[in-house]
Structure 1
Amino acid sequence: MPLRVGYIREHFSSPLLQYAEADGGKTFTLVECPSGTGQIITRLTNDEIDVAVALTDPLISGIARGSEHYKLVGSYVTTPLNWAVITGKDTQYKEISDLQKTTIGISRYGSGSQTMAYVMALQQGWPTDKMQFQVNNDIRGLIHSVNDGTTSAFMWEWFTTKPFVDAGEAQFIGSVPTPWPSWLIAAHPTRASPEALRTFLDTLTTYVRTFDDPAQRAAADVEYIKDKFGYPEDDVKAWLQTVAWTHDCSSIPTKVIADTLDVLTKAGFINSPSSSGFDVGRFVNGDVAKLV
């Protein structure tokens, strides 16, 4: 049976999409999750997918909170994700500090849009135990909520949201980059064999290395993203200046897990199990990935 790989159809997924196009469904099939990483984790939990290419913080926080439905098996994007802070087109909120004690829109509980709201609150010095959220499922629902006034703002990746801002449907009032590399790979601990996962990761590595090559970035990558996602060329080139991928999808830096756990604990999103902290090795499927 081919692996079922959950992903978010965004420009970050370009090497994965190229791999899928070449594979033709022989070894894996893609399962799109438009609501984001929260939806991916739900599908892992419900046996709808076997593998997830998803955001670092929700994956790590889910395991920290006791989920046994997946372990980390690899890395993907090594640079931070720039989360835009977005409000309505006629907003009364002019800067991030105006959002304290308001209701923030999120796609789902446990999603990146929620974890990063906690990081934003930590940076602003707000009490994180008083935060208020409204679930709005996807980017369209989130934009609707800031315009009908049921939420003050939401957080989403900058370039994904920019077309809506350019069209006058919403406004940017700031951004919060992740304090960690932004994308990891996870898999259910038993539904896929270690051999199948290693093959998937090793082959994905070849596509990632090709896509990340400077010559590819200068021309072929730009054209691919323009054609696949319809973004303006200037936006594609600007984004490519900010992003880098791992050159070994089956390795995970110990520091990434430890630093993410540290920030999310300080933000009040997760609780450390003891004075000695978390066991980083518990987060990783050691039969597939290597901690470095």
Structure 2
Amino acid sequence: MALRIGYVREHFSSPLLQFAEQDNGKTFVLVECPSGTGQLISRLTNDEIDVAIALTDPLISGIAKGSTAYKLVGSYVTTPLNWAVITGPKTAFKNISDLQNTSLGISRLGSGSQTMAYVMALQNGWPTDKLDFKINNDIHGLIASVNDGSTSAFMWEWFTTKPWVDSGEARFIGSVPTPWPSWLIAAHPTRAAPAAAALSTFLSKLSEYGVRESKDVEFIKEKFGYPEEDIKAWLKTVGYPQDCAAIPAHVITDTLGVLEQAGFVKKPEGGFKAQDFVNTGIVKLT
């Protein structure tokens, strides 16, 4: 039976999409999750997917908060994600500092758009327990919210949002890069056990599809319609792992340290242990 791989269809998924074209459904099928990591985690929980390629911080914070729906099984992107801070074209907000004590748009509770709002607050010295959020489900709902005034701003990956800025439907007022590598791979612990061999093969082959600029510019242009100059600028900022079946332990501990400081997760008695976050039968901590 083919693995069900949940993913977000954006430029970061290019290696996965190229792999999928070669595999042609023989060993895995893709399940698109346009609402992002919150939706991926929900589908893992509801047995709608077996594996999720998702953002580092919501995956780690979910386990830290007690989720048993998944464990980490691999790495996907080794570089930070540049989160743009986006408002409507006609709002009065000019800088990130103007957003304090306003309502921020997020896709779902526990999503990257929410965890990064905590990081933004931490960096600006705002009380993290005073943040106010409005759930808008996906990028389309978030764009609508900053235009109808129901939220002041939201956070989303820079290049994904840039087409709306270029068309005049949104405006950048800053950015907050993640203080951690941006994407990890997770799998449901029970369903991963009988599929361990297939999952290990998937991770091994995915490692071969890192970005190769000359080929990938045309692939991303065709799949996503981004301008060539934007693709080339993004390719200079992104890195993929040589071995998807390995996770540096410090990625987990460093991420938890920032999320603790932001007040988004609470350290248990005895502290967090990196090995509790991973499926050691599939991935190795380095």
Q: TM-score range by the shorter chain?
A: over 0.9
Counterpart residue number, 1:47: 47
**Equivalent position of 2:37 in the other structure:** 37
| Residues 1:60 and 2:60 are matched in the alignment | yes
Aligned equivalents of 1:233, 1:84: Cα separation in 2: 20
Structure 1 runs of 4+ aligned residues shifted over 4 Å read none
Task: Provide the residue aligned with 2:11 in structure 1.
Answer: 11
Q: CA deviation at 1:277?
A: 1.5
Which residue, 184, 194, 197 being the options, matches 1:195? 197
Give the structure 2 partner of residue 231 of structure 1.
226
| Aligned residue in 2 for 1:173 | 173
- Residue 104 of structure 1: how far off its partner (Å): 0.3
Following superposition, the deviation at residue 239 of structure 1 comes to 0.3
Matching residue's letter, 1:277: G
> Higher mean Cα deviation, 136-145 or 184-193?
184-193
Give 1:133 shift.
Answer: 0.2
Mapped to 2, the partners of 1:244 and 1:144 lie a distance apart of 32
CA distance in 1, matches of 2:99, 2:174: 11
Q: By how many angstroms is 1:121 displaced?
A: 0.2
Distance 1:102 1:272 in 2: 28
Which of 278, 281, 285 is 2:275 aligned to?
281
Which whole-Å deviations, capped at 9, do the CAs of 1:193-250 have from their partners, x for residues lacking one? 2111101101111122xx3xxxx31x21111111110000000000001001001000
Amino acid across the alignment from 2:243: D
Counterpart residue number, 2:209 = 207
Give the CA RMSD over aligned residues.
Answer: 0.6
- Partners in 2 of 1:205 and 1:35 — Cα distance? 25
Q: In structure 2, what is the equivalent of residue 134 of structure 1? A: 134
Unpaired runs of at least 5, structure 2: none
- Give the AA of the match of 2:240: W
Map 1:4-153 to 2 at 5 A: 4-153=4-153
What is the identity, as a one-letter code, of the residue corresponding to 1:290? K
**Alpha-carbon distance in structure 2 between the residues aligned to 1:18 and 1:143:** 29
CA distance in structure 1 between the partners assigned to 2:180 and 2:73 by the alignment: 17
1:269 equivalent in alignment to 2:269: no
Counterpart of 2:191 in 1: which secondary structure?
A: coil
CA distance in 2, matches of 1:85, 1:277: 32
| 1:250 correspondence with 2:255 | no
**AA matched with 1:280:** A
The alpha-carbon deviation at position 279 of structure 1 amounts to: 1.2
TM-score by length of 1: 0.96
Q: Normalising to structure 2: TM-score of the pair? A: 0.98
SS in 1 for 2:85: strand
Indicate the percent of aligned positions where both proteins have the same amino acid: 73
How far apart are the structure 1 equivalents of 2:196 and 2:29? 17
Paired positions, count:
284
Alpha-carbon distance between aligned partners in 2 of 1:106 and 1:46, rounded to the nearest angstrom: 22
Q: Deviations over 1:102-126 (max 9, x none)?
A: 0000000000000000000000000
Gaps of 5+ in 1: none
Code of the aligned partner of 1:198: S
How far apart, CA to CA, are the structure 2 residues paired with 1:62 and 1:200?
24
